[in-house]
Structure 1
Amino acid sequence: MNINVPRGTEDLLPKDTVKWQAIENAYHRLAKIYNYKEIRTPIFERTELFQRGVGDTTDIVQKEMYTFTDRGDRSLTLRPEGTASVARAFVQHKMHGLPEQPTKLYYIGPMFRYERPQQGRTRQFTQFGIEAIGSADPAVDAEVISFAMESYQTLGLKSLKLVLNSLGDHESREAHRQALVDHFKPVESELCGDCQQRLEKNPLRLLDCKVDKDHPAMQNAPSILDYLNEYSANYFEQVKKHLDHMGIDFVVDETLVRGLDYYTHTAFEIMSEAEGFGSITTLSGGGRYDGLIQDLGGPEITGIGFALSIERLLMALEAEKVDLEEDETIDCYVITMGEEAKYAGSKIVDQLRKTGISTDQDYLDKKMKAQFKAADRNKARLALIIGENELNEGIANLKNLETGDQKSISLEEIVEKVKAEL
């Protein structure tokens, strides 16, 4: 009986992980440029965190979470997204007390949602995200959006579209909420079962429904932008002005609501417009969250962040035919012939590795020609050849596999000579 990976998951083989490493390294570098520090949270949390943080009315909480009871009869959930965990850690460790504010954090890690697997959507996926917590400055919103756009452009993507909206503050949202209830109530029976429940609990979620998206009532639903109070409208204008000054193009979409309950004020998505990318065009999304930190027991401060799926990023890179620079080379391949030479080779391989030189050797007792082929498959820059005769003379032959040049060197000078050749 063959045991394969669970549905909705995948193995990443070495030919794949080299691309992942290139992306992860790029994001680590970009985070440093923007002065964000890495945080690592547990893969599973108490279920209540996501019920309170993400929202009971969201599809994530109602349909998609991997929840289980542990041996202590505690309800735990594999994290479906990153913001709630980061917010919990921020509160638990009293990071609001740090002298440098806002607290700027980033994370990379696996998330889990029970969804129908399809291209670009798996049950285990990897998110990169950032959170800036502790400032209500519209400039921080623009910084987070800039980071998101730059993260794609740095890797070579060009067919990008930034979509922006404001969800307003609590007062604005309540006014809009009532307008939505009044608008959809007359056609409630025509809506799907989920939307009928959302109408009372969180009518804003109706605008994100995939089932009823073509219903006539959706086309002329009240716009949140018509219900923004003076503060919210001014805040949104400042965010847009910052983006204009930064030269970041965007379009305003008044139907953009995002899929999580904690969003307020700025909400945004970045989409791929590359030909052949697929029907699900969203690459990433984010927004501001007033009240989330307080809901989790922290002080009354605000934050903003975004998250992206690395799987979908790879799809976009493929659609735009962007080849990541992948360094699969090694510095040196040690080729030996004879038993004593092999012992000497193991010592040399170990010496080279300890000085930071990437090195490998044959472990299958191949003939010399086959060992050279192995060096070529490993994309080695140099080959170090040692046979019984060379060993007796205290030398080795160092061959540059890129130029074909070869010379004899003393065994005592191997590390020095190999370094000089690289």
Structure 2
Amino acid sequence: MGNIQAPRGTYDVLPQESAKWQEIERTINELCNLYQYKEIRTPVFEHTELFQRGVGDTTDIVQKEMYTFQDRGDRSLTLRPEGTASVVRSYVEHKLFGQPDQPVKLYYTGPMFRYERPQAGRMRQFVQFGVEAIGSKDPAIDAEVIALAMDVYKSSGLKSLRLVLNSLGDTESRLAHKQALIEHFAPSIDEFCGDCQNRLEKNPLRILDCKVDREHPLMATAPSLADYLNEESAAYFTQVKDYLDELGISYVVDPNLVRGLDYYNHTAFEIMSEAEGFGAITTLAGGGRYNGLVEDLGGPESPGIGFAMSIERLLLALEMEKVEIGQDQSLDAYVIAMDAASKKKAVSIVRDLRANGISADMDFTDRKMKAQMKSADRKKARFVIVIGESELESGKAAVKEMATRDQQEVPFGELAESIQKKKSLEE
């Protein structure tokens, strides 16, 4: 038997990388707190029907990419391919629409699963951060959600960003556009791929998103949704743009922007990386308004807007822009024991230092002092505390500050206080 490796499309986040993840998660948590979005945690798997109804039967996700299985009770379950449907299911199930303050502002971070061809920044198990604001149809909340997404990227250190906007209109506008698309594509639909042929009647808007037929001449001449927006939809989109202007957020309007999920209407947006070398797929985040989704999942009328971003693609963009994060993992104190009796004391000193908020470590392989000093160097310890026979007798440890090489004797009971003082002077 050969060695067992991680399944295709999955990966391990090793300690040197997980520090970057933790920094991004801290940024997300702090910004969401500033914006007053509260964390929600939903199950990793749900009833398959949730995604069939919530994401849409005609989408690639439902048709081709879901990890679906029968459990022992013969129920069909699916590993979540995205976050919005689960959050809306929870919003309906727990009657959050009954809370006095609307919209309910929620965020989540967690693994999602899609069976697709793995490539840079796009895996079969990936981590998504997403935001949902449910219970308001105010264009100002659209602008706030977009601002929060932009802030996450900027606070992480990214600069080469492009925000692309479009309006998908309300139900009336979309129906008029849908009819125009059917009339446009129907005479030549047999020239398109099987997926597009299936979509023609159900969801012709998805034809515009097709990777196979994107060069077909009818794509370039397809009716634009912008021409079918009714007065109300056009006015809504204008207000969203006005709020973004007020916030100083620059954007590009792209009438061809179509989000890949069935539930979107009105505002749709994507944030792209313009970093050199990022690759062909430049989308970092995507989102939009979904005014009928809560009703589709059994709730009352509760308009919503949200976005989702891949943490892997954010890390890739940081790499392309050469932004270093997750660097500060230094150790405050490394305790060196010279012999077995000293080691007992070292164990209690390490515990005392940690109890006082000082990161501390020691040797657990009975190495000689020289090897322990090398270990302290590799770990970038700020202080080395040496305990031997003479230190045990005097009740004082030798404390060496690695940056200055200064050394002094400090009573065992005062080590934590002494190191805290030195740390605060440095900071």
Q: Give 2:212's aligned residue.
A: 211
8 A contact 1:276–1:319 mirrored in 2: yes
Q: Give 1:144's aligned residue.
A: 145
8 A contact 2:338–2:369 mirrored in 1: yes
- Mapped to 2, the partners of 1:419 and 1:158 lie a distance apart of 37
Q: Give 1:226's aligned residue.
A: 227
Amino acid at match of 2:140: A
**SS of alignment partner, residue 77 of structure 2:** strand
**SS of alignment partner, residue 290 of structure 1:** coil
1:187-241 CA-to-partner distances (Å, cap 9, x unmatched) read: 1010000000000111010011011111000001001111111111110110011
1:304-329 CA-to-partner distances (Å, cap 9, x unmatched) read: 00010011111111111111152111
Amino acid at match of 1:124: Q
- Mapped to 2, the partners of 1:294 and 1:348 lie a distance apart of 60
- Mapped to 1, the partners of 2:62 and 2:4 lie a distance apart of 30
Task: Give 5+ residue unaligned stretches, structure 1.
Answer: none
CA deviation after TM superposition for structure 1 residue 242, in Å: 0.7
Q: Give 1:348's aligned residue.
A: 349
Q: Give 1:58's aligned residue.
A: 59
- Mapped to 2, the partners of 1:303 and 1:277 lie a distance apart of 31
Amino acid at match of 1:416: E
CA deviation after TM superposition for structure 1 residue 278, in Å: 0.5
Identify which range, 179-188 or 380-389, moves more after superposition: 380-389
8 A contact 2:109–2:128 mirrored in 1: yes
Cα RMSD (Å)? 0.8
Query: Percent sequence identity over matched residues?
Result: 66
8 A contact 1:176–1:224 mirrored in 2: yes
1:359-395 CA-to-partner distances (Å, cap 9, x unmatched) read: 1100011111111111111111111110111111111
Q: Give 2:121's aligned residue.
A: 120
Identify which range, 165-174 or 95-104, moves more after superposition: 95-104
Q: Give 2:277's aligned residue.
A: 276
Q: Give 1:163's aligned residue.
A: 164
- Mapped to 2, the partners of 1:210 and 1:94 lie a distance apart of 39
1:336-381 CA-to-partner distances (Å, cap 9, x unmatched) read: 1110100000011111111211111000111111111111111111
- Mapped to 1, the partners of 2:322 and 2:236 lie a distance apart of 38
Question: What aligned pairs does 1:19-418 form with structure 2 within 5 A after superposition?
Answer: 19-418=20-419
1:4-31 CA-to-partner distances (Å, cap 9, x unmatched) read: 0000000110111011111111111111
Identify which range, 412-421 or 27-36, moves more after superposition: 412-421
- Mapped to 2, the partners of 1:416 and 1:184 lie a distance apart of 76
Length-normalised TM-score, structure 1: 0.99
- Mapped to 2, the partners of 1:272 and 1:244 lie a distance apart of 21
Identify which range, 407-416 or 336-345, moves more after superposition: 407-416
Length-normalised TM-score, structure 2: 0.98
1:20-66 CA-to-partner distances (Å, cap 9, x unmatched) read: 11111111111111111111111011101000000000000000000
8 A contact 2:184–2:223 mirrored in 1: yes
CA deviation after TM superposition for structure 1 residue 158, in Å: 1.1
CA deviation after TM superposition for structure 1 residue 331, in Å: 1.1
Question: What aligned pairs does 1:3-18 form with structure 2 within 5 A after superposition?
Answer: 3-18=4-19
- Mapped to 1, the partners of 2:192 and 2:373 lie a distance apart of 68
Identify which range, 318-327 or 235-244, moves more after superposition: 318-327
8 A contact 2:19–2:326 mirrored in 1: no
8 A contact 2:22–2:326 mirrored in 1: no
8 A contact 2:331–2:380 mirrored in 1: yes
- Mapped to 1, the partners of 2:420 and 2:341 lie a distance apart of 25
8 A contact 1:22–1:326 mirrored in 2: no
1:131-159 CA-to-partner distances (Å, cap 9, x unmatched) read: 10100000000001111111111111111
Amino acid at match of 1:242: Y
